[in-house]
Structure 1
Amino acid sequence: MNLVNLESVSQAFGPKPLLSDVSLGIEAGDRIGVVGRNGGGKSTLISVIAGTLKPDSGRVTHTRGVRIGLLAQRDDFDPAKAVREIVLGDKAEHEWAGDQQIREILANLIGDLDLESKAAELSGGERRRTALAKLLIEDHELIMLDEPTNHLDIEAIAWLARHLSARKSALLVVTHDRWFLDAVSTRTWEVVDGRVERYEGGYAAFVLAKAERARIAQAAEERRQNLMRKEIAWLRRGPPARTSKPKFRIEAAQALIADEPPARDTVELLKFASARLGRTVYDLEDLTLHAGGPGEGPLVLDRSTWQFGPGDRIGLIGVNGSGKSSVLRLLAEQVRPDSGRLVKGKTVRLAYLSQELAELDPKRRVLETVEEIRKYIQVGKKEWSASQLLERLGFKGEAQWKVVGELSGGERRRLQLLRLIMDEPNVLLLDEPTNDLDIETLNELEDLLDGWPGTLVLVSHDRYFLERVTDRCVALLGDGRLSMLPGGVDEYLERRASGGAVTARVSSAVKAPVEAPVPVADPGKSAKEERELRKELNRLERQLDKLGQQEAKLHAAMADAASDFGRLGELDAQLREVLGQKDSVEGEWLEVAERLGE
């Protein structure tokens, strides 16, 4: 059954046409992800479909009586209303408390927020979660979401994806979160140049199909084509689930990636990073940290020992409020620990992108603001000018001459990030760098970071970006420690689901599940012994990384020497030796981790 039809719809703001003669329909059961450049018309499209914006021309038809739920980017809550009234309306407590689905929505979105809190008292994140909970509790045949993952952590995003996938209603979602797109959508619409291009499958299928169209038509310019090839190559090397949704044969894209190198030359970058940084970057020794400084705010680290080495690319994961930003502020020396030591390498040249926008001169032009830091920069083996990098991050042509005071929040964030990179740091601390960035700009940023040599510590709720630009994940699970996650985000979600953390997000109205005990280090172990064990664990992890790289190189060499049986024998012997070393090191790692209680 068709729920909504658009016939020859056009819409413009000023001289810029956002939709030009667009005709499309949404049927019951459709699950559609909408992508496109910021300002390209995505929010306009869903506003027209929802009926909250009347188009300049054309016709929008809704099936009679169709129930549509819209999560816009801004809410219009009455500031005097309580969360309970906004979310649950006039439902009696026994009515909603006895409904398992409502309890689950409240537990995962409202959490420990007091239901009697007034809308005027809520933060931006709390307002967003409240609006989303209200929408999901209601019954709709078509759910339309504009950037629903904003202000949600990785755990909440994973829950939302599962929840939406289990619902029978049709779904239309605008988001820059590529993992979320793949998890919930079976079709993709790209809003570009006033058109709506349609593709089968989620984000992975969209990337493959778009690259294939470009190859056949030979219409894409060379640099963008190369970016897409790298994206596809990474998708192919990732978990099989990434490419399970395309409904066409994936082999159609093989010609695009036949000679594509790895997304990052990890060995070369590590060598360069070590030369720039030496052996020490940051060492945390028996360190205790509260979020607001000594004795102030929640406890983040409790006598923790950890080492950030040259060339490490680490993703820091945890629920909102677990202290991820506090750890970055500690490394940036903006907050002092209660006790213990933070040892910083003498050669560290730090760049820190916080969630707050840095003050920029509102009267200066964009290009001038970047060139005052540096006019040229070496990224990998290529030199880039300030103007070229601005173009890569979405400031094309005349946009480079805009006055800073006229920029949007997303544009200011891109400008701030570029200024940091132009200063040629060897350590990057990035706190939610993907906020307000569209997918094309994210692709460009990922490609830029691929060639950047140094130590990277990233906090992001964007799971795709996190997995794409980092090599290892570390979690704050609420037990005062930094916990290594060999299995990445999946392991983090499993540990959270099984109670492998001290804290859990539950509503005050919903009984919390009984938590499994958290393994802890031997209380009889001295701080010095624990510190030495931590260093040994980090050494073994680096050794495992190197052995993994050797293994990958040997597999590639064996593929190249498929017809040379003599050479294959030599390579096979080398591979068996590397695998033997890897097994031995993994055994040592498990033994040390067990002694630490991890």
Structure 2
Amino acid sequence: MAHLLGAEALHLEYPTKVVFDSVSLGVNEGDRIGIVGRNGDGKSSLLAMLAGRREPDSGRVTVRGGVTMGVLDQQDTLDGEMTVGTAVVGEAAEHEWASDPKVRDVVNGLLSDLDWHALVGTLSGGQRRRVALAKLLAGEWDILALDEPTNHLDVEAITWLAQHIKGRWPKNAGGLLVVTHDRWFLDEVCTATWEVHDRIVEPFDGGYAAYILQRVERDRQAAAVEQKRQNLARKELAWLRRGAPARTSKPKFRIDAANELIADVPEIRNKVALESLAVSRLGKDVVDIEDVSVSYGEKDVLHDVTWRLAPGERTGILGANGAGKSTLLGLITGDVEPSDGRVKRGKTVQVATLTQQTHELDKYMNDPVRVVISELQTTYTFGSGSKAQEMTPSQLLERLGFASAQLSTPVKDLSGGQQRRLQLLLILLSQPNVLILDEPTNDLDTDMLAAMEDLLDSWPGTLVVVSHDRYFLERVTDDQYAVLQGHLRHLPGGVDEYLRRSAEIAKGTASSGGMKSATPTEATAHAEPKLSGAEKRAAEKQLASVERKMDKASAEIEKLNAEMAAHDQSDIGGLSDLGKKVSAKEAEIAELEEQWMELSEGLD
């Protein structure tokens, strides 16, 4: 594959920190690279250097002659006096840009709800972000460098963006560099992952799930690596393998190796114990919403919603912006009164909400973090029974990624992600038994998201999550519902079912009848049919055949590697021939793994 871009011995430092020290890497035709790492480790700085937006202190970036690069920054650079249409397609007449299928796809995918003639300056921050992304994607580029492209996008738009990127170039053409904390997007789009840490950039094959597997292997082999980070990664791998089989159909890694790595990892949540503890804290009644409708003036938002929120239930809520999700949450908290129907709350219910703002921290802005936590209760218990764990606020802060040195930092000087984590700590220590998380993943990197998920796994209460982060939603909730056309619909098929239903509604093909709230049992009756007995036996037989072929190819690779080790090291030609045979067998295994994944998904 042809080389597009290269970086040699990049060095970057700030007055108090070396960010990169002699980093060399390259981007080839067909590369789709996701960049991950902790906040502050230099992901955006790396992207800016590669895109020519920032000069390294030493080293250089070279781009092949004629190669063009389109860049999406985190900053808003649009002219507020332009119309949406002018910002996206310039002065081109409608018949010109509308005749280009790619531009039409971009406009429909990102801007279908915006006024083409509206001034950019009148738009919200999220709408301006979509316009900037549409402007970039409407152009022709050999390389796209995207910094947090999924920010402010809903689930539908993120799904559209993934499909657009996957189909934008032929298989072995174009290049993608993307910084994002959206782990579903990384898995769906990327064929390689770069982890930025400790002044280096470490490459991994595959998307997020494959990266997690390889990181676990690296951590197991390196005794000096932090034990806590290793355990979180292994726990996440366990969820990837056990709880989301469709997620692991993308990366090319050996399933038996993954299963071996997670053999001693327990289930991520003990649902029975947590629900039992939730009942003891909440009683049997939490919040019952019965035949509720909500209207604002002449606008109907929710219609005939019936929903019983049970002790220990973990529910994800999906819906487009403006669909009524916030109204639904308001019914739970008591901030919204129904126009019709009734809402009944248990006597012991204490609801707390992690909002998209951080107003809870306003009164602490000038205080160091240690002063804030000194005012809180001295201990907090997570989990139940023999696995109950008592933690101090300081220990909780450490679990959420705070270093001891940061305890003396004033709250106003914390990063957005750090403020978000402190906000969550304050809420948890207020001892709610119903917790609502409204877009909780904002400003958090992938490691911190894993830490938050780990913390929530042992939280014994009722959890309601509204999030456009598909991975987080599927990871921390057991059931998903959607607000569609004012009704609350259960989604036994999860986010995929939501996307299908949304597309049907958008096309006008959804039935106008039967839109009452469905119970999980009723909705499950409409699940996809299973394989017949004969079909299942045939698939299992084919699966066993593929596994035997994989084992045979693996054994041949081991034999070839042994031959290479024993071969005359001065015989370059002979070694090269053996290396080509190994590569051919590895390619064969990769194809077999794809077959294995497809067959195993059909059996799930």
What TM-score results when the alignment is normalised by the length of structure 1? Answer: 0.83
Contact persistence 1:367–1:386 (CA under 8 A)? no
CA distance in 2, matches of 1:2, 1:121: 42
**What's 2:563 paired with?**
none
**What's 1:366 paired with?**
369
**What's 2:55 paired with?**
54
Counterpart pick for 1:198 among 172, 189, 203: 203
Deviation string, structure 1 residues 12-56 (Cα, Å, up to 9, x no partner): 122211111100011111000000001110000000000010110
Counterpart pick for 1:516 among 505, 510, 530: 510
CA distance in 2, matches of 1:425, 1:371: 19
Counterpart pick for 1:209 among 210, 214, 218: 214
**What's 1:489 paired with?**
495
2:13 matches 1:19: no
SS at match of 2:284: coil
**What's 1:180 paired with?**
185
2:225 matches 1:220: yes
Deviation string, structure 1 residues 500-539 (Cα, Å, up to 9, x no partner): xxxx4xxxxxxxx4443233369xxxxxxx9xxx7xx468
Deviation string, structure 1 residues 162-211 (Cα, Å, up to 9, x no partner): 11011112111100000000000000000001100000000000000000
**What's 1:285 paired with?**
290
2:269 matches 1:267: no
SS at match of 2:203: strand
Identity %: 52
CA distance in 1, matches of 2:99, 2:345: 54
**What's 1:295 paired with?**
297
2:167 matches 1:166: yes
Contact persistence 1:360–1:404 (CA under 8 A)? no
Aligned partner of 1:224: which letter? R
**What's 2:393 paired with?**
386
Aligned partner of 1:377: which letter? Y
CA distance in 2, matches of 1:255, 1:368: 45
SS at match of 1:38: coil
The alpha-carbon distance between structure 1 residues 407 and 252, as it changes in their structure 2 partners (threshold 3 A), is: same
**What's 2:323 paired with?**
322
Contact persistence 1:212–1:253 (CA under 8 A)? no
SS at match of 1:158: helix
- Structure 2: which 5+ runs fail to align? 525-604
Contact persistence 2:70–2:141 (CA under 8 A)? yes
Deviation string, structure 1 residues 94-147 (Cα, Å, up to 9, x no partner): 011222222221112112211111121111100110011011110000001100
Aligned partner of 1:454: which letter? G
Aligned partner of 2:511: which letter? P
The alpha-carbon distance between structure 1 residues 307 and 538, as it changes in their structure 2 partners (threshold 3 A), is: farther
- Structure 1: which 5+ runs fail to align? 505-512, 523-529, 543-598
CA distance in 1, matches of 2:515, 2:31: 50
CA distance in 2, matches of 1:357, 1:124: 17
What TM-score results when the alignment is normalised by the length of structure 2? Answer: 0.82
2:399 matches 1:396: no
SS at match of 2:364: coil
CA distance in 1, matches of 2:459, 2:315: 14
SS at match of 2:363: coil
Aligned partner of 2:73: which letter? A
CA distance in 2, matches of 1:191, 1:26: 16
Counterpart pick for 1:474 among 467, 473, 481: 481
Counterpart pick for 2:414 among 404, 407, 410: 407
Aligned partner of 1:487: which letter? G
User: For this pair of structures, how many residues does the alignment match?
Assistant: 513
SS at match of 1:394: coil
**What's 2:457 paired with?**
450
1:225 to partner: Cα distance? 2.1
CA distance in 1, matches of 2:515, 2:251: 46
Contact persistence 2:281–2:433 (CA under 8 A)? yes
Counterpart pick for 2:236 among 231, 234, 241: 231
Contact persistence 1:317–1:324 (CA under 8 A)? yes
Deviation string, structure 1 residues 266-312 (Cα, Å, up to 9, x no partner): 1111111111111111111221124xxx427x532113221111111
Deviation string, structure 1 residues 400-429 (Cα, Å, up to 9, x no partner): 221012122222211111110111211001
CA distance in 2, matches of 1:251, 1:520: 45
CA distance in 1, matches of 2:201, 2:186: 17
Aligned partner of 1:196: which letter? V
The alpha-carbon distance between structure 1 residues 387 and 34, as it changes in their structure 2 partners (threshold 3 A), is: same
Contact persistence 1:367–1:401 (CA under 8 A)? yes
The alpha-carbon distance between structure 1 residues 212 and 101, as it changes in their structure 2 partners (threshold 3 A), is: same
Deviation string, structure 1 residues 249-275 (Cα, Å, up to 9, x no partner): 243344431121100001111111111
CA distance in 2, matches of 1:417, 1:220: 27
Deviation string, structure 1 residues 480-513 (Cα, Å, up to 9, x no partner): 21101111111111112223xxxx4xxxxxxxx4
